[in-house]
């Protein structure tokens, strides 16, 4: 994320540090949060991933600083959840894939870092849900289906991104049985969010459900295919991440190399300027597709 007025931002932070007035601190937090919220929109349309990769850690630490002052600010908790998830998936995990063949131990260290970032993300998400639903984090692990029933429409963003972060943490921490046991929590959060707001962020819930369906015991390819179809409908086929998710979750599992190659070609030929609101995510999907094509022989048996 980038800011037009960095000195002004520092001024707000300075006020937070000096002020003894709770109301003044809260106004400063709310003002800076409004700026951060606008920044989130701007970086998703950016065309320079390296610029965003360099800027994101600074923004994330600002968010964490603000949360020290306002620990129950749901907007900041959501920004922390989405921000850490995006940073880990878009910029940390890919580093492991790049170096894995030459430096396996180094790649494992990077994945461990990604796992910690995802864990930080979903813990912020659960904190956000607990603001309105005290005790949610403990109960949802014991009784996922019953617990998520209390969630309402305004909880959907936190529920979806908490599920995404937890699911990503599980995917890079396959040797952690405590995390793996939480897969049912991911499904419960996503299905409840689907009941409340099916078209959230143009099919994002369905996209996450593809990965969930193919990860759970007894998962159905046909059910995943229905999620895939609906995700494409809601996105207007403008999100490369949907094709990437299907390729990685289903095409490889079914050893359908031709389908995989077709989807990679579709991603790589997509005009990212045709959907500027999602430009950065589509660029990152194209980057991941190139890497996957370089490693394709590792995914498919002859």
Q: In this model, does residue 26 exceed pLDDT 90?
A: no
Taking alpha carbons only, the member of 238, 243, 253, 149 closest to residue 191 is: 149
Q: In this model, does residue 8 exceed pLDDT 70?
A: no
Whether 80 and 64 have beta carbons less than 8 Å apart is answered as yes
| pLDDT attached to residue 33 | 67
CA 215 to each of CA 80, 113, 230: distance values in angstroms, whole numbers, following the listed order: 26, 22, 19
Whether 47 and 280 have beta carbons less than 8 Å apart is answered as yes
Q: In this model, does residue 1 exceed pLDDT 50?
A: no
Contacts of 114 (CB under 8 A, 6+ apart): 88, 89, 92, 93, 96, 168, 172
Domains and CATH numbers, the chain: 7-142 (1.25.40.920)
| pLDDT attached to residue 177 | 74
More confident residue, 176 or 46: 46
Write out the two tokens for 248: 């990685």
Mean pLDDT of 213-230: 96
| pLDDT attached to residue 67 | 92
Mean pLDDT of 45-49: 92
| pLDDT attached to residue 113 | 96
pLDDT cut 70: percent of the chain above it: 87
Mean pLDDT of 48-58: 92
Burial 47-86 (b: 16+ CB within 10 A, else e): eebeebeebbeebbebbeebbebbeebbbbbbbbbbbbbb
**pLDDT grade, residue 19 (50/70/90)?**
low
Q: Give residue for tokens 């390296």.
A: 50
Q: For the segment 107-139, what is each residue's pLDDT rounded down to a tens digit? A: 999 999 999 999 999 999 999 999 999 999 999
What single DSSP character describes residue 216?
S
| pLDDT attached to residue 174 | 72
Mean pLDDT of 243-249: 97
Give dist(CA 254, CA 250) in Å, integer. 6
Give dist(CA 70, CA 76) in Å, integer. 9
| pLDDT attached to residue 97 | 87
């Amino acid at each position: 994320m980038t800011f037009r007025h960095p000195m002004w931002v520092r001024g707000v932070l300075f006020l937070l540090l000096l002020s003894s007035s709770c109301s003044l601190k809260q106004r400063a937090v709310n003002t800076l949060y409004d700026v951060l919220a606008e920044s989130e929109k701007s970086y998703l349309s950016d065309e320079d991933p390296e610029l965003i990769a360099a800027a994101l850690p600074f923004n994330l630490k600002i968010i964490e600083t603000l949360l020290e002052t306002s620990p129950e600010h749901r907007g900041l908790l959501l920004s922390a959840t989405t921000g850490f998830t995006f940073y880990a998936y878009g910029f940390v995990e890919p580093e492991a894939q790049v170096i894995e063949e030459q430096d396996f131990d180094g790649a494992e260290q990077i994945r461990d870092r990604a796992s910690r970032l995802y864990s930080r993300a979903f813990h912020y998400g659960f904190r956000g849900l607990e603001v309105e639903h005290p005790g949610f984090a403990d109960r949802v692990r014991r009784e996922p289906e019953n617990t998520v029933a209390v969630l309402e429409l305004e909880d959907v963003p936190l529920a979806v991104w908490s599920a995404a972060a937890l699911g990503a943490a599980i995917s890079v921490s396959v040797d952690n049985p405590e995390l793996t046991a939480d897969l049912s929590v991911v499904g419960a959060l996503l299905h409840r969010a689907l009941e409340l707001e099916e078209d959230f962020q143009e099919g994002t819930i369905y996209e996450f459900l593809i990965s969930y369906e193919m990860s759970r015991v007894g998962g159905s390819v046909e059910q995943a295919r229905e999620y895939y179809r609906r995700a494409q409908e809601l996105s207007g086929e403008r999100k490369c991440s949907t094709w990437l998710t299907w390729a990685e979750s289903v095409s490889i599992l079914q050893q359908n190399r031709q389908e995989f190659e077709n989807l990679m070609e579709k991603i790589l030929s997509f005009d990212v300027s045709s959907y500027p609101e999602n430009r950065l995510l589509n660029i990152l999907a194209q980057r991941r597709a190139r890497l996957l094509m370089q490693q394709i022989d590792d995914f498919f048996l002859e």
